[in-house]
Amino acid sequence: MIIVMEAHAGLEQIQQVSSKLEEKGFRVHLSQGVERTIIGAIGQRTAATMVLFETLPGVEKVVPIAQPFKMASRQFKPESSLIKVGEQIVGDGQVQIIAGPCAVEGRSLFMEVAQAVKEAGATMLRGGAFKPRTSPYSFQGLEKEGLEILAEARQITGLPVVTEVVDPRLVEEVADYVDVLQVGARNMQNFFLLRELGKIQKPVLLKRGPSATIEEWIMAAEYIISSGNHQVIMCERGIRSFENYTRNTLDLSAVPVIKQLTHLPIIVDPSHGTGKWKLVEPMALAAIGAGADGIMVEVHQNPSEALSDGPQSLTPENFARLVIRVKKMINALQATAEE
């Protein structure tokens, strides 16, 4: 439930309500705005509990949260969350462009593409060190060597680095090397992994599972937030449907829905969402038009020789063209908003 304090409520009254909540077994989250304070209470509420808190001095009203997700809810935290990644802010109105190969295939190859995407306008780097694949015979990633390459690329380019973590036992090690830890679609409901990610204080990029409803996806974010880490970035990457022309069906309606239901920023991955490089640019532009806080695209020097996801990877030249069109889209949207 949410307890909305009166505009003139003092610190003593806020502390009294917070103490009473803790006494009743609730976890307390304070959100202090310019005009008033909102107290989020996580726990088992009853009608009697709500009546009790409505009678406390300084309380304006008590609002139940109907959704199963509490801390991710827009009701719980009305203002949008801003996630700091290096020098970048996700969720402040700027569009982040995360780019790089699906997998780190070697030092020279990764450094080459890292420099190329930076020069084209990328704001973050992506690359997989651990690659869970459908087939056990496919390339599985360079693991620790890949993490070391990612960290070196960050030092050389100055761009923050995003990579996937697949094992709860490796969370702290991966966090030592990168700026954002990604939860892949296959691990969206790996609850042991989600809880471990809740114990660190680094941003987590949470991809939607291929068969996950929006509520299930938000509940996965709730696992991370309720475990202590509020720095969650949602990522729509397509869901499974009856359509088989594209790799997945990219659900762009998820962008405004996530913004309406939660306070979390959301980005879109049109590379996995379509599986075809020719569709990446139009769907990236559509994602920005829908209000996404960023896009994540795969870029490789020679997609036909990529060890994973070559058909959906852009060449550096195509990526540079994409960035130009993305910036034009952003300018057009800003001009429309100012009219």
Judgement on whether residues 58 and 98 belong to the same structural domain of the protein: no
Q: What is the pLDDT of residues 111-161, one digit of tens each?
A: 999 999 999 999 999 999 987 767 776 777 899 999 999 999 999 999 999
The CATH number of whichever domain residue 305 belongs to comes to 3.20.20.70
Q: Is 75 within a domain?
A: no
Judgement on whether residues 99 and 181 belong to the same structural domain of the protein: yes
**Which of the pair, 49 or 12, is modelled with greater confidence?**
12
Q: What is the pLDDT of residues 37-83, one digit of tens each?
A: 889 888 888 888 888 999 999 999 998 888 889 899 998 888 999 99
Q: What tokens were used for 243?
A: 């359509």
pLDDT at residue number 137: 67
Judgement on whether residues 278 and 317 belong to the same structural domain of the protein: yes
- Report how many domains make up the chain: 2
Q: Is 11 within a domain?
A: yes
Q: Is 104 within a domain?
A: yes
Least confident range from 159-163, 290-294, 304-308: namely 304-308
Does the model's pTM come out above 0.75? Answer: yes
- Please name which of 91, 94, 49, 104 lies closest in space to residue 232, comparing C-alpha atoms: 91
Residue partners of 37: CB distance under 8 A and separation at least 6: 5, 9, 14, 30, 31
Q: Is 312 within a domain?
A: yes
pLDDT at residue number 339: 67
Judgement on whether residues 95 and 49 belong to the same structural domain of the protein: no
Q: Domain of 16?
A: 2-63
Q: Is 266 within a domain?
A: yes
DSSP 249: B
Judgement on whether residues 43 and 182 belong to the same structural domain of the protein: no
The CATH number of whichever domain residue 7 belongs to comes to 3.30.70.1140
Judgement on whether residues 142 and 7 belong to the same structural domain of the protein: no
Q: What is the mean pLDDT of residues 78-97?
A: 95
Q: Is 73 within a domain?
A: no
- Please name which of 24, 113, 77, 28 lies closest in space to residue 261, comparing C-alpha atoms: 77
Least confident range from 3-7, 75-79, 297-301: namely 75-79
pLDDT at residue number 337: 77
Judgement on whether residues 205 and 98 belong to the same structural domain of the protein: yes
Judgement on whether residues 49 and 91 belong to the same structural domain of the protein: no
Question: CA 60, CA 278: separation in Å to the nearest integer?
Answer: 54
Q: What is the mean pLDDT of residues 97-118?
A: 97
Judgement on whether residues 133 and 221 belong to the same structural domain of the protein: yes
Judgement on whether residues 334 and 209 belong to the same structural domain of the protein: yes
Q: What tokens were used for 257?
A: 């829905």
Residue 35 has pLDDT above 80, yes or no: no
Question: CA 251, CA 274: separation in Å to the nearest integer?
Answer: 11
Q: Label residue 32 by pLDDT band (50, 70, 90).
A: confident
Residue 322 has pLDDT above 90, yes or no: yes
Judgement on whether residues 185 and 334 belong to the same structural domain of the protein: yes
pLDDT at residue number 198: 97
**Sequence-separated contacts (24+) of 286-291 with Cβ below 8 Å:** 286/252, 287/236, 287/252, 287/255, 288/95, 288/326, 288/329, 288/330, 288/333, 289/329, 289/333, 290/252, 290/253, 290/255, 290/256, 291/255, 291/256, 291/259
Judgement on whether residues 217 and 309 belong to the same structural domain of the protein: yes
Q: Is 307 within a domain?
A: yes
Q: Is 69 within a domain?
A: no
Question: CA 174, CA 172: separation in Å to the nearest integer?
Answer: 6
- What's the length of the chain? 339
Percent pLDDT > 70 in the chain is: 98
